[in-house]
Structure formats: structure tokens, C-alpha cells
Amino acid sequence: MTLDISSAPIASDTTDHAPPGPDARVRWAQDLSASLVVFLIAVPFSLGIALATGAPLTAGLAAAAVGGIVVGLFGGTALMVSGPSAALTVITAGLIARYGWQATCAVTLAAGLLQLLLGVRRVARTALAVSPAIVHGMLAGVGLTIAIAQLHVVLGGSPQSSAIANLLALPGQLAGPHPPALLVGTVTVAVLLGWPRLGRLPGPAGRLGARLAKVPGPLAAVALATGLALALGLRLAHIELPAWQPHSFVPALPHGPVLELVAAVLTVTAVASVESLLSAVAIDRMSRRTGDLDRELRGQGLANLVSGLIGGLPIAGGAVRSTANVQAGARTRWASVLHGVWVLAAALALTGGLRRIPLAALAALVLVVGLQMVSFAHIRNVHRHREFPVYLTTVVAVVAAGVLWGVAIGAGTAVLLALYRLTRAHVDVETGPDGSVTVQTHGPLTFTAVPRLSRALAGVPAGAEVTVVHDGSFLDHAAYETLHSWRTGHQDAGGRVSMVTRRQDDEVLDPDGTVRTGSSPGPHRCRAWTPWVGHHCIEQQEDPHGRLLDGVQMFQLHTAPLIRPELARLAREGQTPSQLFLTCADSRMVTSMITNSGPGDLFTVRNVGNLVPAPFEPGAADDSVAAAVQYAVEVLEVRSITVCGHSGCGAMKALLDGVHELPGPPTPLARWLRNGRGSLDRLRRVPAEFTSRPVADPVEQLCITNVVQQLDQLMANPAVERRVEEGTLRLVGMYFDFATAQAYVLDRAAGTFSPVEARAGGQHDRTSAERVTTDGRVTAGGGEEGARLAA
């Protein structure tokens, strides 16, 4: 697979390890502020999750502290915050009811060890292969299960052992609610839902509401509900924080069938890992970073190991806390670590205050969180991709049978749906004005499609001239025999049959695979722009403009319908590329081909010689490149800039020939080439080299040396220099050799270019000077961390 070097996002940790500078104090201030915001959200949320599972409430705080500190230090997604997980609530509650609390701690510990092993084996990205419909359905089912159980607490009762039991007991609970608990729960829900809308009030009330809305909604809801209960003197059940007794939290081996215990560990591992990895991907997109998913999985495993040892709940990365962390302005992983420190301090110092919180307030908080896990945005997205049956089946199965069975049933539904689509074919019969018949098939023709195909062919009039067009999908033996048997019979009856296969590139083939003469549209046999792979066709097209229009027509006919939805989305949302790709204007450089990119991926700048004039340089030919760089860095906020040279560059030949120094008034080309004088100077001092082969000639040596020089000239741009020093922008050098179709990547420390090696099976490419991990992380041969390249 071609290495998409242009898509190289910065490493997720570059911000964390940025060199000390004038902004270091600002970063620490932002991290401190964000950690306090997340802490205020995490405390009530952790207590509510512990309440919902039936675990000691201190277990929720312990898990929040461990998740913040351990995952914050060792995880691979800098801005994600981990802690007790709502998705694990039902599973944990079932484990506690089945085995007891200490045995549940042992299961958490074992799940952590398994996550560590999976992270070491670098299988994190395998978890992302789970259908999004199953993941969202699982979360929605868990959310409904939580909400139904906590509704009993809000009404003043106690939850039952299962979601079905809770549903059956709900009518009786609704008939006789406990008014004080219902009042506190209603106030909590009202504050939670209304708090973000305070800033929308008109006039001075809106300004005051905007200030109040800066306080996290969960904290405000629980605080106001607690204050109301104290003010009215309501008799309510309050949370109980038992004294910390280490012996009561030591994990104990659970007793039960071995297979059942193994299934419990695998379930906790799978749910915690998938939720953490999906949250990591979402937070990376939100923060415009790219993390190390295997490192994240190892961090989650270490946190669950520690949490199980000290008596904490199972831990996973959480979207709610992580989103709040990003929106609060966190810059590094220290925001998560500090949040964990504050939770630990609260658990030790604020015990008396926490005991005043009514259980109904925490139950209402968890009820709202559970309902919010049923996302209508997810439902619309799943429906748009025709996966709603999988989603709905998973939701119902999770509520009725639990998470493990629910996910298994959802996965089975997804497999059946995929098989149904793979075996479903359409057969269309069209009759032309001259009586000719065209039979078009769409989709794989297998034995399951034979009845439908036979009915369609049976309706063709005897003696008609028929063209059977297959779209190139799979054709099994049963369908092949059906087609050819009918063809023989139709021809014996006096009819004529042409059987062709139309591939996606619009070539029409006979069944033996040969291209039919004259089948390509247009005035010549080659398609509009296929001369670049069949140069003999160029002479057949005398009008270049006609070839251009033919290409546009082919685009409108074949390509536009396929990419129209994506281009429409880009038109609505605007461009958000993460890479600036600066290369030569040479017609042989096809950037989208060598980077395997598409619309919206690259912000591309092309000029003669891929030159970067230094900003404000006296006598510079123009400011267009500097303007493009400034726009990309400051407005689009790209994360990497790649300068790509190529072999046989005419601009480099002209520089070596001294075109820019010819006597007389300089031409526009000569003035422009003067921006490459620094490359000539570098060629004389420290010419760049290849690691795997000698340079072919002086022109090639100047071509690769010019790439190194242009990267240095980029640093003369103040915006680029600032972003690079912050660690939010990476500069990449690249060279492409046309004769061998080989790309090379620059190791800036050594000043050498190493080949990008193609690896089969869709794995990440690598150079001989760089090691690419399975999640796309590139480390230099000397052991220093390099860019993270996404293939």
C-alpha cells in the first residue's frame, strides 16, 4: 500500500514533551484549569457509577483517581481522561451480585493483565474492526439498563437484579413513589438539563447565566439537590463511605465454573478496551492529534491492574470527562494526572461533606447519563449506513440478556446482514426501440441469485438480439452454467447473444477476459486520460482540448456520482486538511497518487522547483508561497508540512546551469530561481545523500539537497517556527524518483533520505531508517521518536 506521507500527523506526545519556552507557563495554567473542571465532573459521576453497580462508593473515587493518574502518565492519548465506566456498570453489577465485591476486584485485576498482554502484542487496532452499529447499540442498551435501574432509586425504591425484573417492577414503583426522593431526583434532572441553557436567557439574566454555566452541570445539580434536601430537612437515604480498611478490598479468587470466570474476564476486557479505544479515536479527532492506541491499551491495562489491587471499579476511557477536558483547554496529559490527584485528595479529605449527598441525587445523575448514551445522532448515522437492524437487535439483546449475549447476538445479526447483501443480486431487463434486449446484472451472481436470473432470462423474447452485461462482481459456477445454458438455447432458437463484463473502469470484456474492440467511449480506443499508461494512444488524439473535455465527461459520468456525497459534505463543512503538501509543478508529479489521498486531505502548493522563499526576503519574486504557508498554519491549523522534490527537476537543472545569474535584465523565471541559491550553497557545503544507494548525478543531489534547504527556509516563517517550537507542527522532507516509482523520506538529523518500503497486507510502510509500529507510530533508527505516519 502506498505510504500516505502527506497524512503524517504529529505525535500525540509532542505537546507533552515540547521544549520549555515562553508558553510553558500558559500550558501549565491551562492544564491546571482543565483538571479542576474535570475533577468537579468526575466526583459525582464516579459516586453515581459506584452506586449503580452496588460497589462501595469509595471504589468509584479510587477508580477515578487511578484512571486519572496511571492512564494519564502511561496512556497513549494525551487528552483522554479515564475512570469508572458507564458501559461497564451492568457488567460490574452482575459480577458483584454473582461473586461478591472482592472477587470482582480479582476479575478487574485479571482484565488489566489481559489488556497489558494485548497492548504488548499490538492488537489495539483489531478492536476497531467491531461494527459501529454493535458498539453504539451496546452503549445504548447499557444506558437504558442503567436508566431503568436508577429510576427505582429516584422513586425511593431499590433496583432489581436484571433489566427485565426492573421493567416488571416499575409499574408498582410508579404507583407508590417516595415523595422526598422523587423531589430531589426531579430537581437534579431539571438542573442537569437546564444548566447549559442558562447563558441563553435574555438580558442581564443571560450574562449571569453564562457565568454560572461555567460550573460543571453535574456538580451544580448534585450540590443544589443536596442543599435542598438539607434546607427542607428531608428524610432520605444518603451515600455511605465506609472507612478505608485495606483487608476488605484485597482481591479474592472467585468461586464458580472456570469457563464462566473466563467469560467474565473476557467481557470486562473487551468492553473496557473497545470503549477506551473508540473514545481515544474520537478525542484525537476532536483535539486534532494522533495517539498510540497500543500504548493506550497498555495504560488502561495497568490502571485496571492497580484499581483491582486497591479495590476500585473497572476503568475505561470516558467520552464525557475527556470531552470536558478538551473543551476546558487542556494541552497535555498533565491535566488528566492532576484531575486524578484532586479526586484522591477529595476521597481522603472531603468524606464528611460527601456523606450528605442523597442517593436519589446521584441516581438521577446516572439516570440522565444512561439516557444520554442513547444517541439520536448515532441512530441517524447507523440508519444512513443501513445498519439499523444490527443496532436495534443489539440494544434489545443487551437489555434482555446482558452485555455479553447482547454483543454476541448483535455480531451474529451483522454477519447475517452482510451475507444477505453479498448474495443479493439485481437483474434488470431493458428492451430497446429496435427490439434488442439488454440484461444488466448488479452484484455477485451466486447460486442464490439463479432463480431470479432464470426468471429474467425466461422473459426474453425468442429470436431477440440480447446483450448480457455483468458488472464485474463475483460469478459462481451455478450462475455461470445458468447463463451459458440459456445462451446456447437462445442461439439455437435463432437469437443472438453477446455476453460481456463491464468493469468499474468502463472497459468491456468478453467472458474470457479480453477487451472488446471499440468498447471504450470517446473518439479513440483509450479513455480520455489513459495515455499516461498507454503512451501510444496520444498520437491518435490530435486535439488535446478534446481529450480534456472527454476526461471531464468521463468524470461526470462515472466518478462524480460516487464522490458527490463526500464533496457535498466538504462544501457544507469547509476544508479541514491536516497536512500542507508543497511540491513541484512538474506534470509528472501526481500528489494524490503517491500519497493515496483524496478531496479534503491535502492543502497543496505547487511551484517551479518546490521552493519556499523566506518571508520578507528583499527581492523575492512574490509572496504567494508565504501566504499559502501562513494560511495553512494559522487558519487551517495543519499539523504537518511536507516538502517533496522529485527526480529530473528542470528547476534544479537550471540552477546548476546558472540561469538565475545570466547577464541582462532577469526574466521572471530567473528571479524566481534566485530563491534556490541557498540550495546551491548547501550543495557545496553539506550535500544530502541516500542511505541505500549513491546519488545518480549532480542534478539528483541538488534535488534532495534542495528539499533539506527548503525545510530550513520554512523555519524562517514566524508562524511555522512558533508552531514547531510548541510541538504542534512537524516538518517532513520527501523525494520521489520517477524512474523507479520510489519515495524516500528524510531523516533530518542525519541529512539522509531512506526508501519507503512497500509491505503487503495493508501494513504501514517503513524506511530503513525508521521503524513503523502497527498503529502507525514511526520511530527513528536511533531510537528517537519521529512522526506518526498514517497509511
Tell me the three-class secondary structure of 126-185, residue by residue.
HHHHCCHHHHHHHHHHHHHHHHHHHHHHHCCCCCCCCHHHHHHHHHHHHHCCCHHHHHHH
Tell me the sheet residues that pair with 646: 736
Long-range contacts, 23-29 (Cβ 8 Å, 24+) = 23/726, 27/331, 27/332, 28/334
* Of the candidates 615, 623, 618, the residue with the CA atom closest to the CA atom of residue 722: 615
**pLDDT above 80 for 595:** yes
Residue in this structure with the C-alpha cell 437534579, named with its chain if needed: 188
> Quick check: 150 and 303 in contact, CB under 8 A?
no
Confidence bin at 286 (pLDDT 50/70/90) = low
What whole-number distance in Å separates Cα of residue 23 and Cα of residue 574? 30
* Of the candidates 347, 342, 259, 272, the residue with the CA atom closest to the CA atom of residue 305: 272
Confidence bin at 654 (pLDDT 50/70/90) = very high
> Quick check: 342 and 35 in contact, CB under 8 A?
yes
Cα(first)–Cα(last) distance of the chain, in Å? 8
- What is the reported pLDDT for 655? 92
- What is the reported pLDDT for 520? 38
Question: In 3-state terms, what secondary structure has residue 647?
Answer: coil
Burial environment of residue 409 by CB neighbours within 10 A (0 to 12, 13 to 18, 19 or more): buried
**pLDDT above 70 for 32:** yes
**pLDDT above 70 for 545:** no
Segment 682-695 shows an average pLDDT of 92
Q: Does the pTM of the predicted model rise above 0.85? A: no
**pLDDT above 50 for 539:** no
- Work out the number of other CB atoms within 10 angstroms of the CB of residue 681: 12
**Tens digit of each residue's pLDDT (9 = 90 or more) over 327-374:** 777 888 999 999 999 888 887 776 666 667 787 887 888 788 778 778
What whole-number distance in Å separates Cα of residue 338 and Cα of residue 530? 59
**Tens digit of each residue's pLDDT (9 = 90 or more) over 366-415:** 788 778 778 788 888 888 888 899 999 989 998 888 777 887 898 899 88
What whole-number distance in Å separates Cα of residue 757 and Cα of residue 768? 8
> Quick check: 275 and 395 in contact, CB under 8 A?
no
Segment 26-45 shows an average pLDDT of 79
Residue 420 corresponds to which amino acid? Y
Phi first, then psi, for residue 631 (nearest 5°) are: -65, -45
Share of the chain above pLDDT 70, in %: 81
- Pick the residue with more confidence: 4 or 500? 500
Segment 570-574 shows an average pLDDT of 87
- What is the reported pLDDT for 554? 77
Question: In 3-state terms, what secondary structure has residue 495?
Answer: coil
Residue 707 corresponds to which amino acid? V
- Work out the number of other CB atoms within 10 angstroms of the CB of residue 543: 10
List all residues 6 or more positions away from 36 whose beta carbon is below 8 Å from its beta carbon: 339, 342
Residue 600 corresponds to which amino acid? G
Q: What is the sign of the dihedral through the CA atoms of 542, 546, 552 and 558?
A: negative
What whole-number distance in Å separates Cα of residue 438 and Cα of residue 6? 45
Exposed e or buried b per residue across 388-401, where buried means at least 16 C-beta atoms within 10 angstroms of its C-beta: bbbbbbbbbbbbbb
- Pick the residue with more confidence: 9 or 233? 233
- Pick the residue with more confidence: 733 or 502? 733
Report the range of poorest mean pLDDT among 261-275, 448-462, 535-549, 564-578.
535-549
Which H or E run includes 787?
strand 785-788
- Pick the residue with more confidence: 288 or 645? 645
Segment 492-510 shows an average pLDDT of 64
C-alpha cell at 482: 445458468
**Tens digit of each residue's pLDDT (9 = 90 or more) over 92-140:** 988 998 888 889 999 999 999 999 999 998 888 776 677 778 878 877 8
Rg of the Cα trace of the chain?
32
* Of the candidates 613, 595, 581, 604, the residue with the CA atom closest to the CA atom of residue 709: 613
**pLDDT above 60 for 775:** no
**pLDDT above 50 for 666:** yes
- What is the reported pLDDT for 239? 60
- What is the reported pLDDT for 616? 52
- What is the reported pLDDT for 265? 92
What whole-number distance in Å separates Cα of residue 32 and Cα of residue 27? 9
> Quick check: 53 and 93 in contact, CB under 8 A?
yes
Cα 565–chain centre separation = 19
C-alpha cell at 768: 530503513
Average pLDDT, the chain: 79
Phi first, then psi, for residue 767 (nearest 5°) are: -100, 165
